[in-house]
Structure formats: C-alpha cells, structure tokens
Amino acid sequence: MIFDTHAHYDDPRFDADRDTILMNLASAGVGCVVDVSAEFSGIDRVLALADRYPFVYASVGVHPSDTALLTEGKMDILREYAANAKVVAVGEIGLDYHYRLETDPGEADPPREVQKKWFRRQLQMAEELNLPVIIHSRDASQDTLQIMREAHASGIIGVIHCYSGSAETAREYLKMDYYLGIGGVVTFKNGKTLREVVREAPLEKLLLETDCPYLAPEPHRGQRNESGYLDLVAEEIARIKGIDKETVIGTTAENAERFYHIGKSGEVIRRGAEDDT
C-alpha cells in the first residue's frame, strides 16, 4: 500500500468532500497518510484528523512563512501538541526565500534571520523530543544545508520535503542520511533535475508525498492533488530507475514506517522507547 508522507487534508479546499476522499483512500491503494501542519493556528485541525482516522498521522510545526508570529510561549504550546500519541514528526519547518528579497521589505514573508531563528528553535525541540523533522526549503538551499549540517551533528533525522534542489545538494543530504520527498513534480516536463536526483538517489532514501492539495502529477497538473495520484509518481520513479512500480511502492512505504517510527500494526514507537523497556 502507498504511504503518503506529506499531505494537507486540513486545507479548506477539502472542506466539501474531505471525509469521502479519506475514506476512499484504501480503494485507491493508499494505506497511510501523514497530515502536516504549516500555520500554528491550524495545528488543532491536523490533530483532529489524526484522531478521527486511524490511518492518518500528524506532524506539528510552523512553516517559515508563518514564523513572524512565533513566540516562546507558542513554542511551549507546540511542545504540548507534539506529545500527542499520533504525532510522528516536527514540521513542516525550514526556510522560504521565494517571496522576499532582503532589500524589499514590502514582501509578505518574514526576514531571513527570523526564519533561521525559528527553524533552529524547532529543530532543537525535535532533538529534545526525539522526533524526525520535515524540512521545507524554497530558494534557500545553501542556508538550509548549513543549518541541517548543524542539526545532523545533534543526531536529528529528516526529510527534505518536495525536494527541488540540485543533484549535488541532494548528494550532501544523502551523505547525512537524510531522506528526499518526491511528489508530482517528478512527472512535470520541467522536472528534469528532479528526475536526475531520483535516478541517482538510493530507493531506500526516497519517500512518496503529495503535498496535496498542491502539485498534482501529470496528467492532473493544475488540479487539486490527492493521495490516490501517488500511483502516477511511483510509476514515474519506477520508469526512471528501471524497476517495477510495486517495488517502488513497497520500499518507499517501508522507508516511511522506518522514518516515522510506525510499527507494522500502526502504532507509533517513540525513538528511544526501546531503551526504557
């Protein structure tokens, strides 16, 4: 069964038919979904979905575009959220330089130093809680890589969500044993660099993700994305690597279970818990 490692079913674009879509995922070959928070104000919705559906898990964190509103008080609340039994990661967190130039204060995203501060702070929380991290990096490859190198020294494991960097940068992440999140972009005509990354990266370090409702694969590009479309992503990865699609689906699902510490029966195993028994 397909494991969608990064979705946003709490998004308002699913308000009209969310339950129908989620309840039909199994018939589309999807077995597990991690719903990932972005805005601090939306974490309750993410946790509610994980609580309602046994096959849905949650990740809690604040997207870089929302970090201007973060405070230490909110970090304390975030830590409480992360203690939920269905929470499997901290994220999505990271850096996004796409909509703001340092010389243009009129843009909406927080300044880079603000983003870096709260990126590091949330990484610290993940380290303290023994949780993996989901990293958002857009037009910020070098700063993200530098900060993740620092985090790697602390033993944090992570996935670079919706990987969009170069093959060279991917090699650096793989050297640090990080995972790469692969979604619909790998099917796009302009996805040549990502296909090069997929060709070179070990299958054991790839995770399937939708980032739905965004980034639907061809031939659905521009439509609302959903987990059932990941079959098309797996098909493209299989074509690139010259292997069968079922191997891609099975291996990436095992990768996701290992990354998120989810047991075969669906239970979440906190890192380090085996040391307490």
| pLDDT score at 146 | 95
CB of 227 within 8 A of CB of 212?
yes
CB of 181 within 8 A of CB of 159?
yes
How far apart, in whole angstroms, are the C-alpha atoms of residue 46 and residue 175? 32
CATH number for the 2-271 domain, one of 3.10.620.30, 3.20.20.140, 2.60.200.20, 1.10.10.10? 3.20.20.140
Helices (H), 130-217: 141-152, 167-175, 192-200
pTM beyond 0.85, yes or no: yes
CB of 30 within 8 A of CB of 230?
yes
The pLDDT tens digits along the chain (277 residues) read: 999 999 999 999 999 999 999 999 999 999 999 999 989 999 999 999 999 999 999 999 999 999 998 999 999 999 999 999 999 999 999 999 987 544 455 556 799 999 999 999 999 999 999 999 999 999 999 999 999 999 888 899 999 999 999 999 999 999 999 999 999 999 999 999 999 999 999 999 999 999 999 999 999 999 999 999 999 999 999 999 999 999 999 999 999 999 999 988 888 987 654 444 3
Helices (H), 83-191: 112-129, 141-152, 167-175
Residue 231, both tokens: 């079959």
The C-alpha angle with vertex 168 and arms to 159 and 138, in degrees rounded to 5, equals 50
